[in-house]
Amino acid sequence: MLEQVEALMRKHIESIGDSKSLELYEKVPKGKRLRAKLILRIAGQTQEAIELASVVELIHAASLLHDDVIDEADTRRGVTSINHAFGNMTAIMLGDILYSKGFTKLTYLPTEVARKVANSVTKLSVGELLDVELANAFNPNQDIYFDMIYKKTASLIEASAFSAAFLAGKDTKKYALYGKNLGLAFQVIDDVLDITSSSEVLGKPALNDFREGKTTLPYLYMYEKLDVKDREKLLSYFGKDLNKNDSNWIKSKFNETGAVKKSIEYAQKLGHEALDAIKDENVPQLEKIIKEMIERDF
């Protein structure tokens, strides 16, 4: 069901009439298309829903192109990232092309949808800015972490669910809440996988987030449980390249404190809250999305 979305995204880029843009676009790794799946499962496979899905996925792809520049990432989904292969300028401009094309196509959708999606992209950008600022020092505050992941990740998923419900004449409030909790759970699992997955599966070094200065939920839970001496030791690793001994120490503390397990349980709780929001809607296929997302390994 995603082929039509994929084809439409390509058509949008093709319609620009610039062979270089299309050539580069084809090198962007495709990803899981979670947002498109969500939209089609809520709204059904109507032409409007496919249009919305293509817009949201173009915007999401653009945001990752910029994110890889910001994070100086060499890879995306295990393959060379656009910034690494072609330089930051190309990655930023390709992001701008995808982003502005997505917004042009967004203007053909109902105003309520256009506003919601456009507004979520502002939140996305504020969230990314917050993420960058937070990397300056270890952040022990859970509220700040959740505010940042809401904006950076959950807001576009929330807007996708709202918009799909709007197109289908469903209860937008319930679906928006489903989307928000799904988005939060998704980011928590992403943060867990940075710790539990092998670098081969992730396509980036293990414990990369902490090296990049990101204090994610498992680190927050671990920090809570450590004594003063171990807290100091953990802080000394913040934002640094870790050797095998350092990584092993951090991993052993994750085990001792149960911080990874607690994070997974929290993601599951968010998953249940998402399902609770739409419990009267009779949509078993949305339960599957939550399961797939929480049980994934990359």
Complex with ligand FPP: residue 153 or 257, whichever CB lies closer: 153
Q: Binding segment for ligand FPP among 5-13, 60-68, 161-169, 258-266 (CB under 6 A)?
A: 60-68
> Do 97 and 16 touch, CB atoms closer than 8 A?
yes
Nearer to Mg ion, 71 or 191 (CB): 71
- What is the DSSP secondary structure assignment for residue 99, as one 8-state letter? H
CB neighbourhood size of 244 (10 A): 7
Q: Is 152 in the site for ligand FPP (CB under 6 A)?
A: yes
Q: How many residues bind ligand FPP (CB under 6 A)?
A: 14
SS3 call for 13: helix
Closer residue to Mg ion in complex, CB, 51/209: 209
Q: CA–CA separation, 238 vs 212, rounded Å?
A: 8
Binding positions for ligand FPP, 122-141, rule CB under 6 A: 124-125, 128
How far apart (Å, rounded) are the C-alpha atoms in residues 140 and 172?
34
- Beta-bridged to residue 76, according to DSSP, are 79
Which DSSP helix (H) or strand (E) runs through 208? helix 208-211
The binding site for Mg ion (CB under 5 A) comprises: 67, 71
Q: Is 279 left (phi over 0), alpha (psi -120 to 50) or beta?
A: alpha
Q: Which of 56, 106, 121, 286 binds ligand FPP (CB under 6 A)?
A: 121
Closest CB to ligand FPP among residues 174, 221: 221
Minimum Å distance from CB 79 to ligand FPP? 13
Name which position in 33, 41, 66, 211 contacts ligand FPP (CB under 6 A). 66
Spatial neighbors of 134 by CB under 8 A, at least 6 apart, are 144, 148, 213, 214, 215
Going through 32-173 in order, the beta strands assigned E by DSSP cover 75-76, 79-80
Site string for ligand FPP, 77-116 (x = CB under 6 A): ------------------x---x-----------------
**Cα 128 to Cα 211: distance, rounded to the nearest angstrom:** 17
C-beta of 83 vs 163, nearer to Mg ion:
83
Q: Closest approach of Cβ 84 to ligand FPP, in Å?
A: 13
- Packing angle of the helix pair 217-225, 228-237 (nearest 10 deg): 150
CB of 153 to ligand FPP, least distance (A): 5
Stretch that binds ligand FPP, among 61-69, 132-140, 165-173, 288-296 (CB under 6 A): 61-69
Q: What are phi and psi of 80, to 5 degrees?
A: -55, 130
Q: Which does 9 bind (CB under 5 to 8 A by kind): ligand FPP, Mg ion, none?
A: none
Angle at CA of residue 83, ends 27 and 57, nearest 5°: 55
Residue pair 220/145 in contact (Cβ under 8 Å)? The answer is yes
Q: Which of the ranges 36-44, 55-63, 81-89, 227-235 carries the binding residues for ligand FPP, by CB under 6 A?
A: 55-63
Residue 253 as a binder of ligand FPP (CB under 6 A): the answer is: no
CB of 144 to ligand FPP, least distance (A): 15
DSSP for residue 236: H
> Contacting ligand FPP (CB under 6 A), which of 54, 67, 158, 260?
67
Q: Point out which residues bind ligand FPP (CB under 6 A).
A: 59, 62-63, 66-67, 71, 95, 99, 121, 124-125, 128, 152-153
